[in-house]
Amino acid sequence: MISFPIDDRHRINASQLDVPPRLLLGPGPANVHPRVLAAMSLPTLGHLDPRYLELMDEIQTLLRYAWQTDNPMTISVSGTGSAAMEATLANAVEPGDVVLVGVMGYFGHRLVDMASRYGADVQKLTKPWGEVFSLDELRHGLETHRPAILALVHAETSTGARQPLEGVGELCREFNCLLLVDTVTSLGGVPLSLDTWGIDLAYSCSQKGLGCPPGLAPFSMSPRAWDKLQRRRSQVANWYLDMNLLSRYWGQERVYHHTASSNMNYGLREALRLVAEEGLESRWQRHQTNVEFLWQGLAELSLVCHVQEEFRLPTLTTVKVPEGIDSKAVARQLLTEYNIEIGLGLGELAGKVWRIGLMGYNSRRENIILLLEAIARILTKAKKG
């Protein structure tokens, strides 16, 4: 046996882990349903265990329901929502492809950045943060740029705006391009149908409307997008996210690709079961009813929403910070005095708005009452001070 001196300088006396009981009403993550946490505590299985392979099939079926699609290539990517975001571009974009991105907030800019890294000829349509694109504006962009892919953010997390998608798929087929859509803050809480709307590539995350911890990213591609992948002249530049390889793991062949987290996927399966038990229409209505209650309460506090009501998300609301109020100080007080987390503004809206999330398990009336009461007390104190 080889012996050598142990260096104790890097050892710490770590106490037992303890975390505060936060109410997560920001842009994500949201609090996790107890049934999801319970599912994640079950014994770990290997990534090729027969029972785990059955569970993968169940996840695919439940994801197709949540997204309202028959797409065979519908999986959970091992990674955060940004991994699935990158997967859509890595598989669909070839060097030189024109990619037209609708930029109306922070995550439109992220699509631009990612697409450019895969060699796309990126063109942009832009709107002020909090506004959305009309069909006529999208048509003009397609006529002007003739892209291979149109990329839009359905639910812009930085602004709280919902991009209407009705008719966009038909428009893309008219111009022979694929429709790529960010559904990170809409899946599980906002009306959404990939097949009805003709969406070819979609991605989301586990920690928002689905009510899981972060770490998995739903991904779906239509047969049209799959055909483009098969006609590539070059390899997919990202090995880990190459759907040609992942399809052999998630499909009938069950060829090893990577060590997926069985426990994370237990949680996703249970979260999707909750979606199916509640029913999509009931779930969408719950989110809408609760956010309208929030909007009414904000108005009674003389707080104004940033986005026009017609285009507001039921999962995330941006609230204008009143004149003379320090947005960070209010958020800090909510966290330290009330254990409530809300989000601050990103990018162009930094310091100008708060972001309030009502997603999945957290979209409940009692949470809204707690938040409104806390905000009222903090703002009253701030104005007196």
Residue 1: pLDDT above 70? no
Domain co-membership, 289 together with 248: no
Helices 280-300 and 365-384 cross at an angle (nearest 10°) of 20
DSSP, collapsed to helix, strand or coil, labels residue 320 as: strand
Instruction: List the one residue out of 172, 209, 222, 180 whose CA is nearest residue 64.
Output: 222
What string of DSSP letters covers 53-112?
HHHHHHHHHHHHHHHT---SEEEEEES-HHHHHHHHHHHH--TT-EEEEEESSHHHHHHH
Domain co-membership, 265 together with 298: no
Residue with tokens 């694109």: 133
pLDDT digits (tens, 9 = 90+) for 155-167: 999 999 999 999 9
In a domain, 2, yes or no: no
The token pair at 341 is 């987390």
Q: What does the mean pLDDT of the chain come to?
A: 96
CATH assignment of the domain containing 45: 3.40.640.10
Q: Last residue of some domain: 276, 294, 315?
A: 276
In a domain, 9, yes or no: no
CATH assignment of the domain containing 365: 3.90.1150.10
In whole angstroms, give the CA distance from residue 154 to residue 167. 13
In a domain, 360, yes or no: yes
pLDDT digits (tens, 9 = 90+) for 256-287: 999 999 999 999 999 999 999 999 999 999 99
pLDDT digits (tens, 9 = 90+) for 164-185: 999 999 999 999 999 999 999 9
Domain co-membership, 212 together with 302: no
Residues in contact with 83: Cβ distance below 8 Å, sequence separation at least 6, in sequence order: 77, 217, 241
Domain co-membership, 237 together with 316: no
Average pLDDT on 224-246 reads 97
Query: 198 burial class (0-12, 13-18, 19+ CB within 10 angstroms)?
Result: buried
Domain co-membership, 271 together with 285: no
Domain co-membership, 254 together with 155: yes
Q: Residue 385 — very low, low, confident or very high, per pLDDT cuts 50/70/90?
A: low
The token pair at 287 is 């989110």
Residue 92: pLDDT above 80? yes
Residues in contact with 199: Cβ distance below 8 Å, sequence separation at least 6, in sequence order: 69, 165, 169, 179, 180, 181, 222
The token pair at 338 is 């009330």
Distance of CA 281 to the CA centre of its chain: 19
Q: In Å, what is the CA distance from 354 to each residue of 159, 318, 384?
A: 10, 6, 21
Count of residues making up the chain? 385
Domain co-membership, 294 together with 193: no
In whole angstroms, give the CA distance from residue 361 to residue 86. 27
Q: Residue 5 — very low, low, confident or very high, per pLDDT cuts 50/70/90?
A: confident
In whole angstroms, give the CA distance from residue 208 to residue 284. 14
Residue 381: pLDDT above 90? no
Domain co-membership, 177 together with 60: yes
Average pLDDT on 9-21 reads 84
Return the amino acid letter for 48. L
Q: Last residue of some domain: 245, 276, 307?
A: 276
**The pLDDT value given to residue 302:** 97
In a domain, 3, yes or no: no
Whether a cis peptide bond, with omega within 30° of 0, leads into 29 is yes
pLDDT digits (tens, 9 = 90+) for 111-147: 999 999 999 999 999 999 999 999 999 999 999 999 9
The token pair at 378 is 């903090």
Question: What is the percentage of the chain residues whose pLDDT exceeds 90?
Answer: 94
Instruction: List the one residue out of 100, 111, 151, 108 whose CA is nearest residue 130.
Output: 108
In a domain, 18, yes or no: no
Q: Residue 7 — very low, low, confident or very high, per pLDDT cuts 50/70/90?
A: confident
Q: Residue 222 — very low, low, confident or very high, per pLDDT cuts 50/70/90?
A: very high
Question: What is the percentage of the chain residues whose pLDDT exceeds 70?
Answer: 99
**The pLDDT value given to residue 185:** 98
Average pLDDT on 17-42 reads 96
**The pLDDT value given to residue 11:** 76
In a domain, 13, yes or no: no
Task: List the beta bridge partners of residue 218.
Answer: 76
Task: List the beta bridge partners of residue 24.
Answer: 341
Domain co-membership, 123 together with 215: yes
Instruction: List the one residue out of 160, 158, 156, 208 whose CA is nearest residue 24.
Output: 208
In whole angstroms, give the CA distance from residue 199 to residue 221. 8
Average pLDDT on 86-102 reads 98
Centre a 10 Å sphere on the Cβ of residue 352 and count the other Cβ atoms it contains: 15
In whole angstroms, give the CA distance from residue 385 to residue 382. 5
> What is the pTM (predicted TM-score) of this model?
0.95
Domain co-membership, 355 together with 231: no
| 23-24 and 340-341 beta bridge pairing | parallel
Q: Residue 360 — very low, low, confident or very high, per pLDDT cuts 50/70/90?
A: very high
**The pLDDT value given to residue 10:** 73
Tell me how many domains the chain contains: 2
Contact (CB, 8 A) for 213 and 206: yes
DSSP, collapsed to helix, strand or coil, labels residue 122 as: strand
Q: Last residue of some domain: 229, 254, 276?
A: 276
Range of the domain at 324: 23-29+280-384
Domain co-membership, 222 together with 296: no
In a domain, 262, yes or no: yes
Q: In Å, what is the CA distance from 341 to each residue of 18, 80, 274, 333?
A: 18, 20, 24, 9
In a domain, 12, yes or no: no
Domain co-membership, 254 together with 118: yes
**The pLDDT value given to residue 61:** 98
